[in-house]
Amino acid sequence: MTQTDNSLFFTVKKTIELTSQEIDQLLDLSNSTMNDQRTKKKFQDKYLLNFLGFSFHALMIKNNIIVGCNTVIPQEFVFFNKKCIFGQWCETLIDKNFRGAFSNFKKIGNILNEELLKHKICFIYGLPNRALYIVSKRLLGMRDIGKLDYYVYPKKLNKFLIKYYPLNILLCYFLKTLIKFRFKSNNNYIFPIHKLDNENFYKGRYGNRNEYKTIGKDNFKLIYKIDTSDHHNGAKIIWIMDVSPLTKFNLENSVNELKKIDNNIDLIIYIGKLKLLPYNLIKIPDKFIKENNVFSGKILDEKKINETVFDYKLWNINSSNFDYR
């Protein structure tokens, strides 16, 4: 679908329909607005390596130059034993000279949703930054699903809360002692809403990127990455991206495996929504989380998806479902 508004032109294209020049323009827009250095290879891997073989890009164009975009990646999901196609709302970028005209932002979202419906995408979800989160609710009708929680295992806290030294070291000792004497329960998770865990998903989410590592065990697969944090004095952090199948036992075993791999690790973090706390992880209070941790969504086809989709307790959701880490 295409629309015109004075000198602005709005259209939706599949990734495979983008010209080389348009991809270059999208890269320039991404790198300038997000202070990123994405390459054409990363762009193609991110948006082509999914089960459809393409993603959807709503474009705002002025004088043949892309000045705004909204992008959705199609993802296969299971919704109460029924396979559906959800859209991962992953990128909304507007050139700094065209911000503030909220009607344009709404037009981009509307024409994108119309195209998604043509491809039987019945629901979109995302984890926008704080500014976009507010705008997406007011203008695009996105609704809260729930908050993602941060669960950590503190190997060392020397580089965290430095101004409270030596209390940070005493806190680490206390937390490890608390974990050691926790009761281990056999209760498990039940998730009626979850991504379809297959090779198409792994290829699209992780591609050939070397920063993602895999540990395969007989009963589960663990995917993680290691970062050095500029915000925490060079602390070395392991991010648990996904555990499959996600059970309480498998997540606990994953943490124990990661504790062994590097003595220089400071923190192990899992981001998700768990009804039962693993014995070896501690939940971080929301007041310490600076990023937006509310994920939201919108029903596009009410015949396929009902209101239960907004019950966060039904979701298996973690870092693997988003593109920000």
Mean predicted confidence (pLDDT) in 157-179: 64
- Please write the tens of the pLDDT for every residue from 73-105: 999 999 999 999 999 998 888 888 887 677 888
**Same domain (yes/no): 114, 230:** no
Does any domain span residue 325? no
User: In this structure, what CATH number is given to the domain that contains residue 9?
Assistant: 3.40.630.30
* Residue pLDDT, tens place only, 278-294: 999 989 888 878 888 99
Query: 219 pLDDT band (50/70/90 cuts)?
Result: confident
Same domain, 133 and 42: yes
Does residue 132 share a domain with residue 85?
A: yes
pLDDT of residue 245: 93
Same domain, 30 and 86: yes
Q: Domain range for residue 277?
A: 149-288
Query: Are residues 312 and 240 both part of a single domain?
Result: no
Token pair recorded at residue 221: 């697969």
Q: Which amino acid is at 146?
A: G
pTM over 0.85: yes
Answer yes or no: is 52 within a domain: yes
In a domain, 284, yes or no: yes
pLDDT tens digits, 119-161: 999 999 999 888 888 888 888 899 999 999 999 988 877 666 6
193: in domain: yes
* Beta-carbon count within 10 A of 29 CB: 20
Secondary structure (DSSP) of 255-296? HHHHHHH-TT--EEEEEE--SS--TT-EEPPGGG--S--EEE
Count of beta carbons in the 10 Å neighbourhood of residue 269: 18
- Domain check: are 135 and 157 in the same one? no
Note whether 139 and 160 are same-domain residues: no
Instruction: Indicate whether 216 belongs to any domain.
Output: yes
Tell me the per-residue pLDDT of 183-201, one tens digit each, with 9 for 90 and over: 677 778 899 999 998 989 9
Show Cβ contacts of residue 207 under 8 Å, excluding neighbours closer than 6 positions: 42, 45, 46, 49
> Do residues 80 and 36 both lie within one domain?
yes
Residues 11 and 139 in one domain: yes
Paired strand residues for 221: 216, 244
The number of folded domains in the chain is: 2
Residue 313 lies in a domain: yes
